Amino acid sequence: MNGLVAGYLPLFDIYLIHLGLAFSQYIVLRAGVFSLATAAFAGIGAYTAGIFAVNLGLHPALGLLAGTLTGMAAAIFLSVPLARLRGVYQAIATVAFIQICLSLNIYSENLTGGAMGLNNIPKTVGTGTLFLFAALATYLIWGIERGRLGRAFNTIRQDEAVAASLGINITRHQMLAFAISGALAGLFGGLEAYHSYALDPNQFGFHLLITTLSYVILGGRNSVVGPLIGTAILIILPEIARPLAENRMVIYGIMLIVVINYLPKGIADTAIDAIRARRLKARGDAKS
Amino acid sequence: MSTLKLTNLSKRFGGVVASDDVNLSVPAGKIIGLIGPNGAGKTTIVNMITGMLPVSGGHIHVGDTDITHAPAHEISRAGLARTFQNIRLLGEATVLENVMIGFHRHETSSTLAALLSLPAASSETAALKGRTLALLAEFDLQDFADYPASGLSYGHQRKVEMARAMAAEPDFVLLDEPIAGMNDVESDALAEIFQRLAANGKGVLLIEHNVRFVAKMCSYVYVLDGGRLISEGTPDDVLKDPTVISAYLGDQHHA
């Protein structure tokens, strides 16, 4: 039994890290920003944390803090030009941002190790730490969802004119969503750095973008449960059916197409809607 | 008592003049009508007042505050609320959530408290929910609180939008064709709500097609045609004005 649990622990670690990244992607979509920059923010956080440990020999707590703050700073910086764009143009701009970060990373060989990556990072983060931060991130997102910010984000996403006419400052709220997204991605990028000994620049490219986006689209975009479920399914699936693991990206692509067509709200949101509708119907029946 | 005042308000889309030197004032506690044929520029004026269209010339004041070039969310915070000509509810949200967002400008918990869901933020959310339910009861919508807003009938959706505008507790309300497509029973129910608003000291600007409804509701009426005010006065005077009749019906009917 113990052997079984230990065997799946690395998978659980990956789940916890990717959950944080999924929430980073989730929160911007929630606020009506079609940003895909999570992969870039994660890279910035991971490399900052890595450099703090390897080049400067600083304590991992400091490295994580620095990773979080640089991720957040990059996000706030990016939110200024993005505030002028909408929809697919935001997506294109953020994909370009990922490419820029990737290129800068490869060129600044002295700092980041360039294409060779950053190696010999001391492993200081285990399952316990990951679990703690994943739980905190879940709490943060859950709290936002049921409070003032969640209400404002929902309104902006659905109708900006209504939001503005009710006194919601759209630019400020979207910048806040960006800051949270950047901080989460930076933090979990840093955790990834301290968990896996080495960083490779291509780890934070197009591949990670598709992965994090898939978690949210598959799971659901409008409830905290969405990323929890989406990430779990997409991480476990290739392990259950081993032959699938080879073609992970193909599977992701097919699942996305199927989900977008048949469950456009994602698994969790569709289920929540169905439960809610049944409850309302039961109440209506009881009344009449 | 403050007044919503438009001075020489103008809007040009390229060469098209959608609004030309419009002077209009909505005093607190009064229902003021703005009528005019299709394409007269009524909605353009509402959009300029609420900051959704940039103003080309002239000024808009609420009391002594100049809001001519203020962004939309600040205009709302100055005490203006509006409803939309084509109802704009949040389709994914319930009736309760749709109305609750109206309270946004009165929420006081700090961003940090909201981020960490500290007790201050949670209790504010709970209090707002209570106030929303009370407001829904005022509009006779309490039974629909948990239903998705998009599934309601047209008349009920109008009322939800109205309740949302009221949640903002505005000093001035701009109603853009609020009874379009409603039957008499529904529009009478709304008429009562509008009169209550004015009685509570709010200034109401009623934009309407239905001349009969405007005549019944308003103490003063402005008539717009081709972006220009062609007449103003009490409903009786305005409806007898030959320029108004010809604007609505064309010249040949005038004789």
For residues B33 and B159, state if they share a domain.
no
Measure in Å the smallest separation between the Cα of A182 and chain B Cα atoms: 15
Nearest CA in chain B to A140: B116
Q: Output the tens digit of pLDDT for each of chain A's 288 residues.
A: 466 677 788 899 999 999 999 999 999 999 999 999 999 999 999 999 999 999 999 999 999 999 999 999 999 999 999 999 988 999 999 999 999 999 999 999 888 888 888 998 999 999 999 999 999 999 999 999 889 999 999 999 999 999 999 999 999 999 999 999 999 999 999 999 999 989 999 999 988 998 999 999 999 988 999 999 999 998 888 777 777 677 777 877 888 888 888 888 899 999 998 998 899 888 877 766
**The pLDDT of residue B155:** 85
Please say which residue of B135, B167, B199 terminates a domain: B167
pLDDT of residue A50: 95
Q: Are residues B96 and B161 in the same domain?
A: yes
Tell how far CA B100 is from the center of its chain: 18
Residue B70: domain span? 1-79+170-255
Of A159, A169, A176, the CB nearest to B88: A159
Same domain (yes/no): B9, B124: no
A164:B111 CB<8 A: no
B74/B185 same-domain check: yes
The verdict on B125 touching A (C-beta cutoff 8 Å) is yes
* Interface size between A and B, measured as CB pairs under 8 A: 100
Token readout for B102 is 């109206």
- Chain B residue numbers with beta carbons less than 8 Å from the beta carbon of A137 are none
- Among the ranges given (A58-72, B110-124, B159-173, B196-210), the one the predictor scored with the smallest mean pLDDT: B110-124
* B71-129 pLDDT tens trace: 999 999 999 999 998 889 998 899 999 999 999 988 888 888 888 888 888 899 999 99
Q: Could you tell me the two tokens for B157?
A: 């959706």
Same domain, B201 and B255: yes
Q: Residues B176, B250: one domain?
A: yes
- CB contact under 8 Å between B93 and A169, yes or no, is no
C-alpha A251: how far from chain center: 20
Domain final residue pick, B167, B186, B202: B167
CATH architecture of A2-287: Orthogonal Bundle (1.10)
Q: Does residue B107 fall inside a structural domain?
A: yes
**Residues whose CB is less than 8 angstroms from the CB of residue B47 and which lie 6 or more positions away in sequence, other chains included:** B53
Same domain, B69 and B96: no
**Residue in B closest to A142 by C-alpha:** B117
pLDDT of residue B255: 45
**Domain check: are B108 and B120 in the same one?**
yes
Last residue of some domain: B167, B193, B209?
A: B167
Is B195 within 8 Å of B23 (Cβ atoms)?
no
Instruction: Give backbone dihedrals phi and psi of A34, rounded to 5 degrees, phi first.
Output: -90, 65
B48 touching A (Cβ < 8 Å): no
**Do B6 and B73 fall into the same domain?**
yes
Determine the pLDDT at residue B254: 46
- Contact status, residue A217 vs residue A256, Cβ threshold 8 Å: yes
Question: What is this model's ipTM?
Answer: 0.89
Helix ranges restricted to H, B143-183: 154-167
- Number of structural domains (chain B) is 2
Residue B37 lies in a domain: yes
CB contact under 8 A, B90 and A162: yes
Contact B117 A143 (CB under 8 A): yes
Q: Are residues B57 and B137 in the same domain?
A: no
User: In whole angstroms, what is the distance from residue A103 CA to residue A123 CA?
Assistant: 26
Q: What angle do CA A187, A168, B164 make, to 5 degrees?
A: 130
Strand-pair category, B57-62 with B65-66: antiparallel
Is B253's pLDDT higher than 70? no
Residues B67 and B20 in one domain: yes
User: In this structure, what token pair is assigned to residue B128?
Assistant: 């707002």
In a domain, B84, yes or no: no
pLDDT for the residue numbered A288: 62
From A131, A140, A177, A99, select the one nearest A17 (Cα to Cα): A131
* Cα distance between residue B248 and residue B255, in whole Å: 14
Q: CATH no. for residue B250?
A: 3.40.50.300
Q: Which residues of A188-211 are buried (b: 16+ CB within 10 A; e: fewer)?
A: bbbbbbbbbeebebebbbeebbeb
Which amino acid is present at A247? Answer: N
pTM for the model stands at 0.91
Q: Are strands B220-225 and B31-35 parallel, antiparallel or unpaired?
A: parallel
Beta strands in chain B (DSSP E): 3-13, 16-27, 31-35, 57-62, 65-66, 80-83, 172-176, 203-208, 220-225, 228-233
| Domain shared by B175 and B254, yes or no | yes
Asked, for residue B250, whether it belongs to a domain, the answer is yes
